[in-house]
Structure 1
Amino acid sequence: MKNVKSNQDTLELTVKEREIEQLQILLANYQLYYQNLRNFHWNVQGNAFFQLHTKFEELYNDASEKVDEIAERILTLDGHPLGNFSDYVAISSIAEAHSNCSGNEMVEQIILAHDIIIGKVKEVIAVANENDDEGTLDMLPAYVSYLEKMNWMFKAFLKK
């Protein structure tokens, strides 16, 4: 006999399940962000090539570490992190970037991605608070301050 849940069971996730779900979305956003950074690193051209090429590499290395931390946090909470790019694309708020844009357009897309990730991190923090999850609450605030600082720097870079 199949294990069938009632409608109420499927509609009401536990706080822990909601946290895992939000962490999955954060993981998906970070994976798209990471891939976009790799794309930009490979394809940047123009007068700011050396600056942006180096900065994009710094950012994708940081994003790679964050992806691993988020996936491990999902595992720590007894979840199963998504591992297929098609799953990431389906739930991410960050779109795949094109490679045929200027360095400034790449920076603008990164700023937007940072804003999306910051918003999602704050959502995860809210649910982690409900779940009394000190591990997640300890990990995520540093993500916000780092991305806010990067946005400040990128906005300064774009000023004429």
Structure 2
Amino acid sequence: MNTTIIGLDKKQAEELTINLNELLSNFQVYYQNLRGLHWNIKGKNFFELHVKFEEFYTDSQEKIDMIAERILTLEGTPLHTFSDYIELAKVPVGKNVTNDVEGVSLVVNSLAELLRIERFILEASDKASDEGTNSMMSDFIAEQEKTIWMLNAWLS
């Protein structure tokens, strides 16, 4: 049989799991950046950004779980080691970022990279008639585009 239990072409589903694992890896690095920003941010915007970064990492944690569960639904195995994440991630790593503008810029740049990957997956899931993955990517994209707009407004 050349289809998965949910009726998708096995080869296309395998390719999607590879892409989703790349997204998962990038989200894990993004999540860890947000934890560091939450802990280490300093300055006059501390109270505002401390809460905002927590909001972002809580949301990211939920998305990470959704991505991993989608990989499992497609009969793949989600990556789960830091070495795998670091190997695949293209999201910039923010180490010891304490400055507000630098921190918000890191989030914007990270989201831009996540959007690039998500748009690629959106196109691939559309070709594979994978509505579950397609819908998830569409939701992520719409939310993250709005977040980038708001953060860029803050940076202005």
Instruction: Identify whether the pair has TM-score above 0.5, normalized to the shorter chain.
Output: yes
* CA RMSD across the alignment: 1.2
- Structure 1 residue 57, shift from structure 2 partner: 0.3
Give the number of the structure whose alpha-carbon radius of gyration is greater. 1
State the alpha-carbon separation in 1 of the partners of residues 25 and 52 from structure 2.
22
Describe the SS at the equivalent of 1:151: helix
The 5 A counterparts of 1:52-91 are 52-91=49-88
Residue 132 of structure 2 is aligned to residue 135 of structure 1: yes
Q: Which amino acid in structure 1 is aligned with residue 75 of structure 2?
A: D
- Structure 1 residue 104, shift from structure 2 partner: 0.6
TM-score norm. by structure 2 comes to 0.91
Identity percentage of aligned residues = 39
Describe the SS at the equivalent of 2:103: helix
Whether the 8 Å contact between 1:89 and 1:95 is mirrored in structure 2 is: no
TM-score norm. by structure 1 comes to 0.89
- Structure 1 residue 97, shift from structure 2 partner: 1.1
Tell me which residue corresponds to 1:41.
Answer: 38
Q: Please list every run of at least 4 consecutive aligned residues from structure 1 whose deviation after the TM superposition is greater than 3 angstroms.
A: none
- Structure 1 residue 99, shift from structure 2 partner: 1.3
- Structure 1 residue 63, shift from structure 2 partner: 0.2
- Structure 1 residue 16, shift from structure 2 partner: 1.6
Unpaired segments ≥5 residues, structure 1: 1-12
Aligned pairs, how many?
147
The 5 A counterparts of 1:102-117 are 102-117=99-114
- Structure 1 residue 103, shift from structure 2 partner: 1.1
- Structure 1 residue 100, shift from structure 2 partner: 3.7
